[in-house]
Amino acid sequence: MKPIFTVTWLLASALAFGQKLQLNDSSYFETRGVNIFVFNNQYNGMFFDEKTAGIELIQHGVRTATGGAVRLQNTPEQWDLVPALVDRKVDRQKHSVEVMLKYDEFAFTSRITVMPKDNGVEISVYLDKPVPAKLEGKAGFNLEFLPTAYFEKSYLVDGKAGNFPLYPAGSTMIEKADQKIPQFAGYTTFDDRGRGEFIIPQPLATGKTIVLAPEDAERLVTIQSADAPLMLFDGRNLAQNGWFIVRSLLPAGKTGKVLTWYLEPNAIPNWKRAPMIAFSQVGYQPAQEKMAVIELDKNDAPLQSASLFQITGNGTPVEKLKGEIKPWGQYLRYNYVQFDFSAVKEPGLYFIQYGDHKTNVFTIGQDIYKDSWHPTLDVWFPVQMDHMQVNEAYRIWHGVPFLDDALQAPVNHQHFDGYRMGPVTDTKYKSYERIPGLAVGGWFDAGDFDIQTGSHCSAILSFVDAWEKLKITRDETFIDQATRYVDIHRPDGKPDLLQQIEHGSLNLVAQVKNIGHPVRGIVVPNLHQYHHLGDASTETDNLPYNPALKPYQSDGRTSGTKDDRWAFTNRNSFLDYHTAAALAAAHRALKGYNDTLSQQCLLYARQLWNENARQPAGSDTGFMAAFRRNTEMAAALQLFIATKEAQYATRFKEMIFPTLDRSLQFGMTVALQAIPYMDKDYQNRLRDYVVKFRTMSDDYNKQNPYGVPMTARGWGGNSAIINWAITNYYAHNYFPDIIGTEYVYKGLNYIFGCHPYHNLSFVSAVGTRSKKVTYGNNRADFSYIAGGVVPGLLVLHPDFPENKEDWPFLWGENEVVIDICASYIFLSAAVNDLNNK
């Protein structure tokens, strides 16, 4: 924890920096109101361009530009080639950053240097060898600008005015496919219907000087090119997630310095980011701790106090508490102070005021959590249901999709979404052979339409926990498996939670029954299908593939179009055990509801356990060995609870404490879940580990001002925070003298708005203000599905936290997936259970 900067230091800093960009200790260029990153974040090579890499611009607290690099297309898509970072040098004497980039596919290397000049930076591109012949007229320097930052704004190109289009409206042309730079592994994002062509966007404008948003001091950027013309493109003509792009082509046949740009982002003098008051948008239970966290610009001196106001029945605000601000320190790039208003317990509507800044209203009340999980179960999960038509009032979310089952994925194949097939199928099926019986149950894992078995297992386990421990019997959804029909907000006399457990289990059982074991995933084979948005039932023709027919031909029952999803079937013990655990749990929940499915679940859970128990212990290595241990332990516990057979309890007890010795983080939840089924000695032995877990949890208060296990990865950390809070819930139930309720509340408060960057609830339609723009299959509409829980905060190295609310396409921040939503349902309902107790 770093101390709050003094006012004297702040004034000196402002005078020293002025408008000039300086290379700071974190190796990026900075002046007040403007930062320029130079490959502080790299293209990762897995999902290629996530719009979080290269030269990037943060202007007045908002990341508005990204992807500054040598690229090979006018408007690169996510699956287009990206350069590898070979080297990055920071020269503090020259105040410069230099990077070396290489396209291995073309043996093409370039160097880019960035250094301060006037009130901006000079960006120079150097070549030791000329642009390869295949890349002449294609290789250029690009910088991409966030469309929503420039909607309803204008630009000047050599003094000529234009408006940024709200909807993509630029011109395009068609070129022969043999002229296209190949995309990942020979895939193509464009469905050319066999015509051998592709689309090339044309520039909106061309000139030597481009001024973006001259009317807006916060977004004003000037770019000048000394060599090649600047071209302005709209990347959304090819893909809805495209950005506005400024580009200059590299010249053919030249070496040395081949391109120079001057980039000047406007910096408002003495700019300070407004304070952000973070709190729970759902509100607070009267007796719980109530702590607002206020995020401050590092140039902002903290105030001495903040106030809590209650809104009376006639709309009059009444100050209920004026409290002292407690400094916490610096976390990432901001300073933080805390405002404790726990003393206020009276139910009502409140807002917080800090200086001139007021929050929206929130509630203090006894029953604030009782409905917080409803949208996730009532709306989000029904919309994700595969193989069903889903209706909501006047709206049909999607028709019945993927009635074509799936094909066996081909051997020795690397898929664009991370799936992989080895040299054998591990099944009785040959490559491209149809696997019958898979068109049943399951959920779309995320914003795309694949079945991810591991996520299914996690979701089912969370649902069974909610059913068995919290007795959730809510009924707001009509689900008819026989007619493949779902109707939201229509009770059918059956608990929705059981119906969702049934739906997920149907797909797991179908996998084991028809394939022989669970599969890594089931996903479309073509990239032009994968980026499909909208109605899932139109991603394929819903007809099984028939190789005797030509593409796009059909006999009414089958089709010659290779659009059927593929099953990636290589077997691993981690997934087998994970599935065995989920099926054993589902067996218990479904008993008396769907007895046939319940018995099938137990049959296949035992089968998977027995088959894997015969595998040698060293058959998995590295991470897979750790995953296998954890899922085997979970399977042992779930099978023991289901059968009461001693073999499973023996294996669980052999594994649990060595697992806890290796990692409290990955073993504590299942260890606590086992307490009701173990003897008193087990609980007594576990006590010391719970004490260690509390010590680890208390350390989070020193790591960040929110006191939760925040992560800084390429995927937001909300899942880890939810799971940590769930672990604390179990620990509190069995060891209330060690773990208090605040450890549980703290995790949910973070999800509901007490987190960095903004104070929106990360759960759409839950809380006064919540996420309205998320990455789902409706993301092109800049909308959300109620109850979806986003991954959360992404931290761009070294110090910029971000969760955009105006741009849904950053999946690491905004993509909603099934396992986090299922665990959120459990946590939210569990906190309500704490209140009831």
Span 231-278, pLDDT tens digits: 999 999 999 999 999 999 999 999 999 999 999 999 999 999 999 999
Q: Is it the case that residue 797 has pLDDT exceeding 80? A: yes
Per residue in 188-204, pLDDT tens? 889 888 899 999 999 99
CA–CA dist 106, 125 (Å, integer): 18
Amino acid letter, 181: I
pLDDT at residue 836, as a whole number: 83
pLDDT > 90: what percent of the chain? 90
Q: Is it the case that residue 129 has pLDDT exceeding 80? A: yes
Reported pTM? 0.95
pLDDT at residue 763, as a whole number: 98
Q: Is it the case that residue 4 has pLDDT exceeding 70? A: no
Give every CB contact of residue 836 below 8 A, 6+ residues apart in sequence.
none
Q: How confident is the model at residue 711 (pLDDT cuts 50, 70, 90)?
A: confident
Amino acid letter, 808: P
CA–CA dist 131, 251 (Å, integer): 8
Q: How confident is the model at residue 13 (pLDDT cuts 50, 70, 90)?
A: very low
Q: Is it the case that residue 356 has pLDDT exceeding 60? A: yes
Per residue in 577-635, pLDDT tens? 999 999 999 999 999 999 999 999 999 999 999 999 776 555 555 666 778 889 999 99
Q: Nearest Cα to 706, choosing from 180, 359, 332?
A: 332
Average pLDDT over residues 384-407: 97
Relative to beta strand 62-71, strand 140-145 is antiparallel
Q: How confident is the model at residue 567 (pLDDT cuts 50, 70, 90)?
A: very high
CA–CA dist 63, 537 (Å, integer): 36
DSSP string, 392-429: ETTEEEE----TT-EEEPPSSEE-TTS-EE-SS-SSSP
Average pLDDT over residues 758-785: 97
pLDDT at residue 666, as a whole number: 85
Mean pLDDT, the chain, rounded, equals 94
pLDDT at residue 186, as a whole number: 83
CA–CA dist 545, 523 (Å, integer): 15
Amino acid letter, 529: Q
CA–CA dist 819, 344 (Å, integer): 36
Q: Is it the case that residue 32 has pLDDT exceeding 60? A: yes
CA–CA dist 129, 287 (Å, integer): 69
Which residues, in sequence order, are bridge partners of residue 789?
763
Average pLDDT over residues 651-670: 94
Q: List C-alpha distances in Å: 707 to 206, 279, 297, 691, 797.
A: 51, 13, 20, 17, 21
Average pLDDT over residues 120-127: 98
Do 779 and 803 form a contact (C-beta atoms < 8 A)?
A: no
Q: Which residues of 659-671 are buried (b: 16+ CB within 10 A; e: fewer)?
A: bbeeebebbbbbb
CA–CA dist 790, 748 (Å, integer): 14
pLDDT at residue 192, as a whole number: 87
pLDDT at residue 615, as a whole number: 67
Lowest-pLDDT choice from 23-27, 36-40, 227-231, 614-618: 614-618
pLDDT at residue 47, as a whole number: 76
pLDDT at residue 46, as a whole number: 61
pLDDT at residue 722, as a whole number: 98
3-state SS class at 623: helix
Do 317 and 309 form a contact (C-beta atoms < 8 A)?
A: yes
Average pLDDT over residues 90-101: 97
Average pLDDT over residues 469-477: 97
